[in-house]
Amino acid sequence: MRVLVTGGAGFIGSHVVEALAARGHEPIVYDVRADPGADVRDPPAVARALAGVDAVCHQAAMVGLGNGVADAAQYVAHNDLGTVVLFAAMAEAGIGRLVLAGSMVVYGEGRYECPRHGVVRPGPRAVAVLDAGRFEPPCPVCGADLSPGLVGEDTATDPRNVYATTKLAQEHLAAAWARCTGGSAVSLRYHNVYGPGMPRDTPYAGVASFFRSALARGEGPRVFEDGAQRRDFVHVRDVAAANVAALQASPAAGVLTAYNTGSGDPHTVGEMARALAAAYGGPEPVVTGEYRLGDVRHITADSARLRADLGWKPEVGFADGMAEFARAGMRTV
């Protein structure tokens, strides 16, 4: 299969390219890092890149929480305008197979259960509450403490920042493309992806990158809030394997199928910082009590559907993955 990988020179995209090649496919890299003319927002350039292509693996995106709304126009231009330009060109070229790099951020806060009111959906956390160091969202009905759980793909989406909103818009655009063309679309809702080749020293990288960059400078990782935020840290090679599995599958035509893509082994941000620092050889993490308003408290999702439908399973465990990442090379962009 000849597969165009947008963002194929990036962190996750480069691993997808390697995984495709290793399984006998022909990946075609489309990325401004490799070619300044390969802009996904440029219709003629995209049309040329799609010649002879069987499927598209759309990884290109502006990622991370960003800077509030100051860079919102850039997020929308790269993630949503670029995506719809790509889909229009795919429709024109008659390409009917798509795998989209989705994100668990579309859910907003994770799944919570109140002992009195069952499953509830907390609203956004208020500045005054966060300033007071109260990080756990209470029950929106009675104010009781909540128990976090796993989010399934059928959970209502509730994006809490600009980046999350653009990722959800990508899924809606993919669903519209599938309905209009009869194509098959899969969105892999990535959890916190980490691993070799992760970008460093950029506001758009993930928390694992921030911590690894700090260690490389001889500084302890700065852990926001109290470090008890729950996340699912999934290795980039496992994410790349999920992309290959999705491309090789036979999903339903005319619809978008979403799959949570995580390790299934949640850890707190503090646990991750300590594991990474220990594997690197120090310094110890520092819990700061700071926060970012667009962050959610807990988000861990159930990836059972991906395992059952596509036969995928993660191969890199948390301890081994952190040990490797502690010494792995990182990229500057």
Q: Please give the positions annotated as active site.
A: 163
Side chain identity, residue 251? P
Do you find a cis peptide bond into 283, omega within 30 degrees of 0? yes
**Residue 57 CA to chain centroid, in angstroms?**
14
Which pair of structure tokens corresponds to residue 190? 């990535």
Which pair of structure tokens corresponds to residue 131? 């300033």
Residues 6+ apart with CB under 8 A from 287: 223, 226, 227, 270
Q: What is each CA distance from 238 to 62, 90, 235, in whole angstroms?
A: 21, 27, 5
Side chain identity, residue 61? A
User: DSSP letters along 166-195, please?
Assistant: HHHHHHHHHHHHHHHH--EEEEEEE-EEE-
Q: Can you tell me whether residue 4 is helix, strand or coil?
A: strand
Which pair of structure tokens corresponds to residue 300? 């861990």
Max CA pair span of the chain? 58
